[in-house]
Amino acid sequence: MSGIVRTITGKCRMCYACVRNCPVKAIRVVDGQAQVVPERCIACGYCVRVCSQQAKMIESEIEIVKEFLEHEKTVACLAPSFVAEFHPAWPGQVACALRKLGFYEVHEVAFGAYLVTQEYLRFLKEVGESQGFISTPCPAVVNLVQKYFPRLIPRLVPIVSPAVALGRYLKKKLGPGIKVVFIGPCVAKKDEARAEEVAGAIDAVLTYPELKQMLQEKGIEVTSVEDEGFDNPKPELGRLYPIGGGLLRSAGMMADILESRLLVIEGRDDCLEFLKAANEGKMVPQLVDMLFCKGCIEGPMMQNEYSSFRRRRIVAEFTREGLALGEQGKTGGREDLAVYLNGVNLRREFRDERVHLPQPSEAEIRAIMAELGKMGPEDELNCGACGYSSCREKAIAVYQGLAENEMCLPYLILQLQKSNLRLKQELNTVRKQFGDIVGKSLAMQEVYRLIEKVAPTDATVLIRGESGTGKELVARAIHYRSLRSDGPFISINCAALPETLLESELFGHAKGAFTGAVTSKRGLFEEAHQGTLFLDEIGDISLGLQSKLLRVLQEGEFIRVGETRPRKVDVRVIAATNRDLEKAIKEGSFRPELFYRLNVVTIWLPPLRERRDDIPLLARHFLQRACQRLGKEIKGFTAEAMDALVRADWPGNVRELENVVERAAILCEGDKIELGDLPREIRNRAANATGWAYTKGMTFREAVQAYEVQLLLKALEESKWVQARAAEILGLKRSTLNEMLKRYRISPKMVKMYSENRM
């Protein structure tokens, strides 16, 4: 078998449900993706059923069948479980729907089951009193024996399944050119159809979901079509095959609990348990009838929601009705059996398909487990989260290449805990610095000094400065360097919300306090308990709310909207504004007592135009972050571009600089941001700059390069791009000029831009 079930790469979420539920562990985990191993897979379909992410896909044969229907005479063979799957549709309506799809004839696999039953009776007469035979119409059981219990292959009754029997019968009756399509709930049928021992009997296999998809595409509603008959002869008790023990019942044999000569085994666990016992010689009944599922009515591709008991009853009633009517199909009668089987071979062979995997030594098993810290039996939790029943079993799977050692959940939790601890330690180290605040200018040195002084205290801090200067960054730096650093840091922009909503956000509200308050809600003061609350744009809140805020600062308590009982809270408040609060006090829009309470310590943040020395540092910092987001590798700025940034006025301050750098990184096509990547209003400022004003904020090397570029551009402009003339003006050799033009990537386009910017 090759690729009946495969994993959709990327959809697998490493839950290992397929590993846990695969009865033969035919799953290989590679790079976190659980892939089916075809040579080990028995095609039972359990991995498809249990995958909640729908990461397992069954190979579809819809296109093959469509091709058959268009160009060949094609016969549909319906598994006996179809009556349970399509109920409450009448069985004949399913047959009619298939003919509308284009099928030439529609047959019940139940008739193939009838043929197989007669062949079983003949076989049992041949072997007489011999013991230990395993009968099964289930290809999953056949795969299981051939791959994992090859010692039992001689015990398998060498008779084909009902589907293969029907396929061979139809090929004999209608000619070898007819196409036979099996339709049922079984994934393993797709594998059986390809088996060398029965090749040619079945040309394609559709699961019930595949058939329903084809019907939907054609707009055929099964319950709306006519009730028609089937084309097969009378199936007798063959319709019972999808129920456990159906084969024995159709052959007139019953399992005897007292004698244990005949056994019915159904279901994955019972099948495995019996085969293991039989493989060891512990179970030797005369005949065992086995189904890997709890009957075919519980096959992996059954989609309706009926219970197994309801499905069993539907199949049984359909069988009784057929027997009571005494007719089914175009011909009928046990007397025609010889005619049916004329020249049809219902026997088959089986072969040893076992897969040999390397077996680790005890030392190798211990070494694999030691990688996960499992040094002794006390460390082997055997929790089963990885999909294997024990740590040793998983270690063996790792050695065999079927599993990854990191699949161990307790190990991953321990590593996660260690990682969290390490990250907390790193975060604490970062918090002791100044976070994302960048700058070495004298103005920023004063800001750092104040942060150092005020952070260890619980003093209220008022941060003032223009918009975009980084007030929240300063607030965070204060919090993370304070004694409250392990507590929450909560931030809110007071100007962004109307008064009523802002009050509810800050103080919370009781259920029913206003329309829409269907539940009570904690406010930000409660959320920030034992931490820091940052109130940005404090100058924009109303006078009424200012008085309530003042109470919190003075008394450490507040009242939720809709309540009367005050609540205590322990919060440090840091406020920020870009407004002139002294002027607001004079105008009566800001309470002086709140101002004095907030203004215990004031930190003034300078605008960017007053700290131009920091612009190169900030620009490189923002470029690095932008490159990480965009997945680009940009090494820096050309001298002209950096000069333009340094000379700009920046009314939006640091925030505007960040946006400009990100825009330039998006537009940049080389390994450095050039003047042309910047907005026109910024690059215009660089056109006529000279001397110290031109190079301020640059390193010595950047300044020299910038000056050289300006000289080159001026010479080229004057010489109208005649390089020989430009070299003469500069007193350079022609080859030296060419080398410099290549180094700085100067082109006529740049000269044109330079000229435009000077205008």
Residue 422 has pLDDT above 70, yes or no: no
Confidence band for 340, pLDDT divided at 50, 70 and 90: low
Amino acid letter, 715: A
Q: DSSP string covering 5-66, please?
A: EEE-TTT--S--HHHHH-TT--EEEETTEEEE-TTT-----HHHHH-TT--EEEPP-HHHHH
Six-digit token string for 236: 């007798």
**Mean confidence (pLDDT) of the chain:** 86
List all residues 6 or more positions away from 21 whose beta carbon is below 8 Å from its beta carbon: 46, 47, 49, 50
Of 53, 45, 19, nearest to 34 by C-alpha is 19
Provide the CA 141 distance to its chain's centre, in angstroms.
33
pLDDT mean over 489-517: 87
Q: What pLDDT digit, counting tens, does each position of 549-586 carry?
A: 999 999 999 999 988 889 999 999 999 999 999 999 99
| pLDDT mean over 79-96 | 95
pLDDT band, very low/low/confident/very high, at 410 (cuts 50, 70, 90): confident
Would you state the pLDDT for residue 243? 87
Question: What is the model's pLDDT at position 613?
Answer: 85
Summarize pLDDT for 352-385 with one digit per residue, the tens. 999 888 999 999 998 888 888 888 888 888 888 8
pLDDT in tens, 678-705: 987 786 655 544 444 445 555 677 677 7
Tokens of 619: 């620009």
The DSSP element (H or E) to which 288 belongs, if any, is: strand 287-291
Band (pLDDT 50/70/90 cuts) for residue 331 is very low
Q: What is the bridge-based pairing of β-strands 56-58 and 5-7?
A: antiparallel
Task: Assign 3-class secondary structure to 406-441.
Answer: HHCHHHHHHHHHHHHHHHHHHHHHHHCCCCCCCCCC
Share of the chain above pLDDT 70, in %: 90
Average pLDDT over every residue of 121-144: 89
**615-630 vs 639-647: helix axis angle to the nearest 10?**
120
CB of 543 closer than 8 Å to CB of 593: no
What pLDDT, on the 0 to 100 scale, is given for residue 701?
74
504 has a pLDDT exceeding 80:
yes
Query: Which pair of structure tokens corresponds to residue 700?
Result: 């010595």
Residue 750 vs residue 742, higher pLDDT: 742
For range 468-478, the mean pLDDT: 91
Helix (H) or strand (E) holding 574: strand 571-577
254 band by pLDDT with thresholds 50, 70 and 90: low
The dihedral through the CA atoms of 645, 646, 648, 654 has a sign that is positive
Say how far apart CA 742 and CA 736 lie, in whole Å: 10
What number is the average pLDDT over the span 399-412? 85
pLDDT, position 661: 95
This prediction's pTM: 0.58
187 or 322, which is more confident: 187
Strand, coil or helix: 161: coil
Reported confidence tier of residue 720, pLDDT bands at 50, 70, 90: confident
Residues 439-467 have pLDDT tens digits of 888 888 899 999 999 999 999 999 999 99
Is residue 708 predicted with pLDDT exceeding 90?
Answer: no
For the chain, helix, strand, coil in percent to 5 are 50, 10, 40
pLDDT tens profile 155-196 = 999 999 999 999 999 999 999 999 999 999 999 999 999 999
Q: What is the DSSP letter of 535?
A: E
> In this predicted structure, what is the pLDDT of residue 10?
81
Instruction: Report pLDDT for 148.
Output: 95
Question: Angle, to 10 degrees, between the axis of helix 700-718 and the axis of helix 723-730?
Answer: 130
Question: In the prediction, which pLDDT does 213 show?
Answer: 96
Residue type, 107: H
Query: Residue 433's pLDDT band (boundaries 50, 70, 90)?
Result: low
Residue 754 has pLDDT above 60, yes or no: no
Q: Would you say residue 109 has pLDDT above 80?
A: yes
Q: What is the pLDDT of residue 676?
A: 85
Residue 639 has pLDDT above 60, yes or no: yes
Q: Which residues pair with 673 in a beta bridge?
A: 637
For the chain, give the number of residues: 759
CA–CA distance, 341 with 333 (Å, rounded to integer): 13
Distance CA 728, CA 748 (A): 18
In this prediction, residues 505-524 reach a mean pLDDT of 83
Separation CA 120–CA 165 (nearest Å): 12
Evaluate whether 686 touches 757 at the Cβ level (below 8 Å).
yes
φ, ψ of residue 128 in degrees (nearest 5): 65, -125
Provide the pLDDT for residue 403: 87
392: region left, alpha or beta (phi > 0 left; psi from -120 to 50 alpha): alpha
Cα dihedral across residues 493, 495, 501, 502: positive or negative: positive
Mapped onto helix, strand or coil, the DSSP state of residue 387 is coil
The DSSP bridge partners found for residue 686 are none
Q: How many helices (H) and strands (E) would you count in the chain?
A: 33, 22
- Residue 338: the pLDDT is 59
SS3 561: strand
Q: What is the pLDDT of residue 173?
A: 92
Please tell me the predicted confidence (pLDDT) of residue 425: 60
Q: Kindly report the number of other CB atoms within 10 A of residue 275's CB atom.
A: 23
| DSSP letter string, 660-721 | HHHHHHHH--SSEE-GGGS-HHHHGGGTT--HHHHHTTS-HHHHHHHHHHHHHHHHHHHTTT
Give the pLDDT confidence of 576-619 residue by residue, as tens digits: 999 999 999 999 999 999 999 999 999 999 999 888 888 998 99
Q: How do residues 291-301 score in pLDDT, each as one tens digit?
A: 999 889 999 99
Amino acid found at 203:
D
- Condensed to tens digits (0 to 9), the pLDDT of residues 32-68 reads 889 999 999 999 999 999 998 889 999 999 999 999 9
Dist CA 412 CA 360 (whole Å):
24
